[in-house]
Structure 1
Amino acid sequence: MGEPFYITTAISYPNGKPHIGHAYEAIAADAIARFQRQAGRDVRFQTGTDEHGLKMVQTARDRGMPVADLASEMSSHFRRMCDTLNISYDRFIRTTDADHYRASQAIWQAMEASGDLYLDRYEGWYSVRDEAFYDEKELVVGEGGEKLSPQGTPVTWTAEETWFFRLSKYQQPLLDLYSANPDFIRPEARRNEIMRFVEGGLSDLSVSRTSFDWGVPVPGSPGHVMYVWVDALTNYLTGAGYPEADMHHWPADLHLIGKDIVRFHTVYWPAFLLSAQLPLPQSVFGHGFVLHRGEKMSKSVGNVVDPADLASAFGVDALRYFLLREVSFGQDGSYSAEAIVTRVNAELANAFGNLAQRTLSFIAKNLGTLPDTGRAEDADGVLIEEVVVAVAGLNQTFSDLMLSQGIEAWMRGVFACNQYIDAQAPWTLRKTDPDRMNAVLRTLVRAIRILAIAILPVVPAGAGAILDQLGVPEDERDHAAIDDDGWYARRVASGAPLPPPTPAFPRLELPAETA
């Protein structure tokens, strides 16, 4: 097994169905996980649902059903979204899982053993929607004069007995962590925001509730359940096997989350882990929002779209490609039906899909099998070098979590292939110089294989279909296989026919009713 790589998404709060933001995060994490598997890493990829808290209790009450039934019903929507979008998770965790209860209570007891938990009375502002407590200084004033959280959500004054975590004790250790590990919080804008927040002073954090019982019971404290963020954040440990001593995949290499919950993951979470004397994750990356035609999605505006509907309208690979190509990772991005069709047709369908289709169709029609020999020229080696350089660019930028730039680098290899095939014109060589035609086709097949392997993490179904048509074995689709052409010699020696290919990336049409 290779070196461990543990990647997680935030676990989704299932008081409503999935939206495009959930899909974007899952797709991005999946592309990173697939890329790391290709690099030979022993990947563990976890996603799931965060099912406790007051919002779930209130939603279940409004629907007249037991909260456990609501949790199961809504969690299934998120699992279905992941399966629809071809998300290669290793575990879909639910915070109602029995092993998660054990892990949450174990970290609680570890923090208690460090002297960082004490019982007191909480009075302050609480946002049910955010499941978060806020200081008076953090609140903003709404248009009607009402107090709102920094996220613009309603807050209520809450007073109850709770357990507190000594977050103030960890102010300097956290600042030291950020200073010593600049990549702990990414991108840099998020890091700067968190450093300013922590430098402003940390108050102790209320970490239990007595006003409802839907949560993980606090050990040895009847009537108290854990504040949802203690429970929710611990899911990452649960997935690594905590509290067992041998946690092969811990610490996590990457927590991939939305920018609106960076504080919980980069202030509360490392403080909990420091208190429990557990290793800290390597990096937390706060991605941006995906907007609809530049506007934040809202049920009241009526622009919320089910990602399953988008996948059905445009195809899973097309949706995956668009989101990762269009949105600069870490920044906000926007989508529309027109933008999806334009981007996917120009690059995925016309540039790469058509390159593969016309090359393989030409071979199937005129040769029947992959060409064996042919008269090579300098242009052949130049093309392969250009493709290898383009793929190296993708690998480097994907390693740095620059996903859009990685696909852009890959496209340079695709464009080089299209320039090559137009310049070499194998359809003309078929009549004038068949020996040279064979070399051109062989060069194109080699280039297409390399490009298909490289883009597999982004469009696994379509790129996989091209590799299937070429006869590239599944165990020869990683980074190490790119420089090895042994598959080609084996395929030629087998004499296996090359059947007419099926288009892997068909052109899209704009739906009659655009999303």
Structure 2
Amino acid sequence: MTSAGSFYITTPIYYPSDLPHIGHGYTSVAVDTLARWHRQGDDDTWMLTGTDEHGQKMLRAAAANGVTPQQWVDKLVSESWFPLLKTLNVANDDFIRTTQPRHEEAVQAFFQTLYDRGYIYAGEYEALYCVGCEEFKPESEIVDGTGPFEGLKVCAIHSKPLELLQEKNYFFKLSEFGDKLLELYKTEPDFVRPDSARNEVVSFVRQGLKDLSISRSTFDWGIKVPWDESHVIYVWVDALLNYVTAIGYGSDEENFARRWPAYHVVGKDILRFHAVIWPALLMAAGLEVPRGVFAHGWLLVGGEKMSKSKLTGIAPTEITDVFGSDAYRFYFLSAIPFGHDGSFSWEDLSARYQAELANGFGNLASRTTAMVERYFEGIVPVPGEYAEGDRAVQKTVADAAAAADAAIERFRIDEAIAAIWTIVDELNGYITDNQPWALAKDDVQRERLGTVLYTASEGLACACRPAVAGDARGHREAVGGPRCGRVARPAAGSADPRGRQLGILHPGTSVNGLAPLFPRVEQS
């Protein structure tokens, strides 16, 4: 797996008005896994996450709680969103808040550039607005209300009445960028992934784009328009700019040049903002478009999208308190094809944890390290001559590692885990077939015992990938050195004379004191 320049990847910037649920956690661990994978391969990696703190919804929530908007967002971020990262063991490099001066100042500079380049004009706007989405709704997302909202137009997502807004606003000339966007999608077919998301975006743009209202004048909780302080910048447009303001746009051009452009991973409900509006804004400002936008599906509970307002939200701690953060990561990233919707159930989580993690991966890790400790005083042995079965295992490991890396390039984390699982299955069978505990009883078989345990330990080192166990760094470093990712085959004619295929594990490494991975969970 190779990459040109920096691997910069972002989560969407979360709106902290509600408590985090497992849908937010799903996106965060997916992006964290991709970032960890690239770091493990020595890429110049940077992961960004953060919170979007402006807008009318936040202003109303603060007023309802009798505090200022800034006090309200400070409370939400400190009590709920920072802890989410710790709960899920997310190793982000930066966390940006849209109320930070570094963001606000750079946003104003960006919009001044658009204004100076002739892409913003003043006009009047009348449309139905959803405060929950912080968005003027297209006809496709407006439905007739039922029950208490009968006779009203409601948001198809939130099922709450829409507000008719009439304002004098500033507009961005989005309509001028339709052809440029279609050319982008044509020349870079992987710009939007998966294919279903790309097809949706292309179809939407082909229908014609309307200019975008990019300011509000009826409230003041936002970043002021630099040439007209009676307006604040539309919250969604303000939020999109976090991806460039966090890496130094307008303040640290060296770092900005090093990091940009980025890959964005977003939920499919905010795809158009990222795949249509965002690249158009960048084009207008004379900046590079992102390297790509990947839209994942929704987590469904009881057949409905995760939602606090519909009481289907599940806090990540409800899972991590029982199964741990690694199980959370593994389950959501393996059980759901990345890019598709997926249903969550406690029964499926529990069953997969016991079968695949506790009995599969965890058992493999514990018995391999336990035998190294028992028979070689916790020191990975020097292998002897390889037999045909050993080389078969090494080939399986190398093939799986290559397949996993190729899957990560396609943002298919689920396929990467499936590839790695062939290592787990192969090694469990290899240990059963070779019976190291029986070899240990015969001093004549000492070298063979060392070869078997070295081969098993080396395969285990390669299986300790971020997608399987983000918290397994200690195991990975103990049994495979600081980096045991990307397995490169030896060049022709340079293979170890004993037929060694991998060469990622250093004999003499200590495995003493490693904590068990994925212990069995007793549930009442």
Q: In structure 1, what is the equivalent of residue 167 of structure 2?
A: 160
The one of 281, 299, 321 aligned to 2:330: 321
Change (3 A) 1:166 1:499: closer
Question: Per-residue displacement from partner, 1:454-504 (whole Å, max 9, x unpaired)?
Answer: x1344121x22323543x443x3443689763752453xxxx6x5365312
Q: Distance in 2 between matches of 1:429 and 1:473?
A: 27
Partner of 1:182: 189
- Deviation at 1:44? 1.2
Query: Residue 371 of structure 1 corresponds to which residue in structure 2?
Result: 381
Identity rate of aligned residues, in percent? 38
Q: Go from structure 1 to structure 2 and tell me whether the alpha carbon gap of 1:73 and 1:60 turns closer, same or farther (over 3 Å shift).
A: same
Q: 1:421 to 1:293 in 2, by over 3 A?
A: farther
* 1:384 corresponds to which of 394, 397, 402: 394
Partner amino acid, structure 1, of 2:15: Y
Seen in structure 2, the aligned counterparts of structure 1 residues 384 and 124 have a Cα distance that, compared at 3 Å, is same
Which residue identity is paired with 1:83?
K
Give SS of 2:8's match.
strand
> What's the counterpart of residue 94 of structure 2?
91
Kept after mapping to 1: 8 A contact 2:194/2:294: yes
C-alpha separation in 1, matches of 2:325 and 2:141: 41
Counterpart amino acid of residue 81 in structure 2: F
The answer to whether structure 1 residue 131 and structure 2 residue 134 are counterparts is yes
Shift of 1:74: 0.9
| Partner secondary structure for residue 91 of structure 2 | coil
| Per-residue deviation, 1:116 | 1.2
**Cα–Cα, structure 1 residues 342 and 161, in superposed 2: closer, same or farther, change >3 Å?**
same
Instruction: Report if aligned partners of 1:27, 1:87 keep a CA contact under 8 Å in 2.
Output: yes
Amino acid aligned to 2:260: P
Q: Name the structure 2 match of 1:25.
A: 27
Query: Deviation per CA, 1:217-241, whole angstroms, max 9, x where unpaired?
Result: 0012021100111210010110121
In the aligned structure 2, how far is the partner of 1:58 from the partner of 1:177? Answer: 39
Q: Could you tell me which amino acid in structure 1 is paired with residue 519 of structure 2?
A: P
Matches within 5 A, 1:463-474: 463-470=472-479, 472-474=480-482
What amino acid does structure 2 have at the position aligned with 1:400?
Answer: R
CA distance in 1, matches of 2:197, 2:337: 15
Aligned equivalent of 1:147: 153
Question: Hey, what's the Cα distance between the residues in 1 that align with 2:302 and 2:351?
Answer: 14
Choose 443-452 or 244-253, whichever is displaced more: 244-253
Structure 1 residue 276 displacement after superposition: 0.9
Residues 98/42 of structure 1: CA separation in 2 closer, same or farther (3 Å cut) = same
Query: 1:485 pairs with 486, 503, 507, which one?
Result: 503
Aligned with residue 403 of structure 1, among 394, 413, 422: 413
- The CA deviation at 1:257 is 0.6
Q: Contact between 2:372 and 2:380, CA under 8 Å: does it hold in 1?
A: yes
* Counterpart residue identity of residue 204, structure 1: D
- Of residues 462, 468, 475 in structure 2, which corresponds to 1:450? 462
Q: Is the 8 A contact 2:145 2:152 kept in 1?
A: yes
Any idea what SS the aligned residue of 1:44 has?
A: strand
Q: Does structure 1 residue 49 correspond to structure 2 residue 54?
A: no
Contact 1:373 1:439 in 2 (8 A): yes
Question: Structure 2 residue aligned with 1:429, among 434, 439, 443?
Answer: 439
Please name the residue that 1:272 is paired with: 281
- After superposition, residues 222-371 of structure 1 pair within 5 angstroms as 222-244=229-251, 245-246=253-254, 247-299=256-308, 302-368=311-377, 369-371=379-381
Hey, what's the Cα distance between the residues in 1 that align with 2:314 and 2:158?
A: 22
| Cα RMSD for the two superposed structures | 2.1
Deviation at 1:448, TM superposition (A): 1.4
Show the counterpart of 1:440: 452
Deviations 1:112-157 (A, max 9, x none): 1121111122111111111111345653223334213353543111
Where 1:509 maps in the other structure, the secondary structure is coil
- Answer with 498-507 or 332-341: which moved more: 498-507
What SS does the corresponding residue of 1:45 show, helix, strand or coil?
strand
TM-score (norm 1): 0.92
Report the number of matched residues.
501
Deviation at 1:374, TM superposition (A): 3.9
List runs of 5+ in structure 2 lacking aligned partners.
Answer: 490-500
Residues 138/416 of structure 1: CA separation in 2 closer, same or farther (3 Å cut): closer
User: Which of 213, 217, 230 is equivalent to 1:210?
Assistant: 217
2-side partners of 1:411 and 1:458: how far apart?
9
1:65 aligns with 2:67: yes
Residues 192, 381 of structure 1: alpha-carbon distance in 2 compared, 3 angstrom cutoff: same
In structure 1, distance between residues paired with 2:302 and 2:166: 42
For 1:501 and 1:230, locate their aligned partners in 2 and report how far apart those are by CA, in whole Å.
47
CA distance in 2, matches of 1:345, 1:354: 10
Q: Which amino acid aligns with 2:440?
A: R
Shift of 1:12: 0.5
Give the equivalent residue in structure 2 for 1:505: 518
Partner amino acid for 1:90?
A: D
Aligned to 2:199, which of 192, 195, 200? 192
- Report the 3-state secondary structure (helix = DSSP H, G, I; strand = E; otherwise coil) of the residue aligned with 2:305: coil
Q: CA deviation at 1:301?
A: 5.2
- The structure-2 alpha-carbon separation of the partners of 1:252 and 1:311, relative to structure 1 and needing over 3 Å to count, comes to farther
Is contact 2:132-2:158 (8 Å) kept? no
TM-score, length of structure 2 as denominator length: 0.91
- C-alpha separation in 2, matches of 1:384 and 1:263: 45
| Helix, strand or coil at the partner of 2:366 | helix
Worse overlay, 73-82 or 7-16: 73-82
Change (3 A) 1:250 1:140: farther
User: Deviation digits for residues 352-405 of structure 1, max 9, x if unmatched?
Assistant: 211121122122223313333545321111111111111111111011111111
1:459: which partner in 2?
469
1:150-192 residue CA offsets vs partner (Å, 9 max, x unmatched): 5354311101111111111112222222222211111111111
Kept after mapping to 2: 8 A contact 1:44/1:249: no
Is contact 2:185-2:202 (8 Å) kept?
yes
Letter in 2 for 1:379: G
SS of the residue aligned with 1:164? Answer: strand
C-alpha distance in 1 between matches for 2:447 and 2:12: 56
Partners of 2:202 and 2:383 lie apart in 1 by 62
Query: Structure 1: 5+ residue runs without aligned partners?
Result: none
Distance 2:257 2:485 in 1: 23
